[in-house]
């Protein structure tokens, strides 16, 4: 490279040209990838819902087609949580309850004594997913979320047709500490949720953290993860919030009182 004097004009022109080319490259790639990113996000969400419903095994590799096909087995409904009833709504599957929770018209403030998941507000309406067997609900999948140690933990809880036994818990997203808090995603721990109940003698009893749930006969016992106390508490609290009176409680009561076809 010759050490010729560089005029300010040339420096400016070259820099501007390179900057324009680079920005076109970046904008074009963002425009091209954005729809694919949305599709991927929807795929992950649907996958997790199906896993909660027991229609996909935990480590099963699935294609978009399988996910779309198996989603046919689930019925999506919008539920008014306070009223404990299903409401009509177009396209309930794409109802953005996270966004609704930030809009005053579509959300309610959670009373402080009930706000164990530290959410502040929640959407009035929530989408729920039903696996039907004839006229009765076999499994109901409920979207849940709440604060962990660092992050918002999002997941899905599936209940069996008695509306008080947990079939599975799936963690959809979280940002807990790698190697420690992220064990809330480990199969061993998630498996301990299966069969746990949050009711006794027809009354709501919150889940509680114990040190050895495998040998604990209490149906509400959930294992503490060693070293990840705050993340464990986060998941258990969010489950207790959403399964309780301020969450899906009224809806679950309505459903267990009317075991037949859920009303529109």
Partner 1 sequence: MRYRQVLTDPIIDNNPVTLQILGICSAVAVTRSMWPAFVMAISVTAVLMFSNTAVSALRGIMPRSVRLVLEVTLIASAVIVADEALQAYAPETSKTLSVFVGLIITNCIVLGRAESFALNNGVRASFLDGLGNGIGYGLLLLSVAAVRELFGSGTLMDQPVFAQTADSAIFVANEFMALPASAFFIIGLIIWALRSWKPDQVEAREFDAEDGG
Binding of partner 1 at residue 10 (CB under 8 A)?
yes
Q: Which stretch binds partner 1 (CB under 8 A): 1-9, 91-99, 161-169, 236-244?
A: 1-9
> Three-state SS string across the chain, please?
CCCCCCCHHHHHHHHHHHHHHHHHHHHHHHHHHHHHHHHHHHHHHHHHHHHHCCCCCCCCCCCHHHHHHHHCCEEEEEEECCCCEEECCCCHHHCCHHHHCCCHHHEEECCHHHCCCCCCEEECEEEEEEEEECCEEEEEEEEEEEECCCCEEEEEEEEECCCCEEEEEEEEECCCCCCCHHHHHCHHHHHCCCCCECEECCEECCCEEECCHHHCCCCCEEECCCCCHHHHHHHHHHHHHHHCCCCCHHHHHHHHHCCCCCCC
CB nearer to partner 1: pick between 100 and 180: 180
Which residue in 104, 111, 134, 178 binds partner 1 (CB under 8 A)?
Answer: 178
CB nearer to partner 1: pick between 136 and 186: 186
Q: Which stretch binds partner 1 (CB under 8 A): 2-10, 67-75, 78-86, 99-107?
A: 2-10
What minimum distance in Å lies between the beta carbon of 150 and partner 1?
Answer: 12
Binding of partner 1 at residue 3 (CB under 8 A)?
yes
Binding of partner 1 at residue 14 (CB under 8 A)?
yes
CA distances from 183 to 92, 171, 188, 235 (A): 32, 10, 9, 11
- Mask 17-56, x = binds partner 1 (CB under 8 A)? -xx--xx-xx--xx--xx-xx--xx--x------------
CB nearer to partner 1: pick between 223 and 247: 223
Binding of partner 1 at residue 11 (CB under 8 A)?
yes
Which residue in 51, 154, 179, 225 binds partner 1 (CB under 8 A)?
Answer: 179
Binding of partner 1 at residue 16 (CB under 8 A)?
no
Which parts of this chain interact with partner 1 (CB under 8 A)?
1, 3, 6, 10-11, 14-15, 18-19, 22-23, 25-26, 29-30, 33-34, 36-37, 40-41, 44, 173, 178-179
């Amino acid at each position: 490279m010759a050490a010729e004097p560089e005029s300010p004009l040339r420096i400016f022109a070259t820099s501007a040209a390179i900057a324009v080319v680079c920005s076109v490259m970046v904008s074009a790639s963002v425009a091209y990838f954005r729809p694919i990113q949305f599709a991927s996000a929807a795929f992950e969400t649907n996958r997790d819902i199906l896993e909660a419903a027991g229609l996909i095994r935990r480590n099963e590799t699935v294609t978009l087609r399988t996910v779309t096909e198996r989603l046919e087995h689930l019925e999506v409904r919008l539920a008014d949580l306070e009223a404990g009833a299903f409401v009509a709504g177009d396209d309930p599957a794409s109802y953005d309850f996270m966004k609704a929770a930030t809009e005053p018209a579509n959300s309610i403030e959670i009373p402080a004594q009930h706000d164990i998941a530290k959410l502040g507000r929640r959407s009035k309406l929530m989408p729920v997913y039903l696996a039907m067997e004839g006229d009765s609900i076999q499994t109901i999948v409920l979207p849940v979320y709440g604060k962990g140690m660092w992050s918002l933990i999002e997941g899905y809880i599936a209940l069996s047709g008695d509306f008080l036994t947990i079939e599975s818990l799936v963690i959809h997203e979280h940002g807990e500490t790698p190697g420690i808090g992220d064990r809330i995603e480990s199969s061993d721990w998630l498996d301990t949720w299966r069969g746990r109940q949050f009711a006794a003698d027809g009354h709501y009893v919150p889940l509680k953290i114990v040190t050895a749930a495998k040998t604990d006969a209490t149906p509400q016992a959930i294992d503490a993860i060693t070293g990840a106390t705050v993340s464990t508490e986060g998941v258990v609290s969010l489950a207790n919030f959403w399964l309780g009176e301020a969450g899906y409680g009224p809806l679950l009561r309505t459903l267990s009182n009317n075991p037949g076809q859920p009303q529109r």
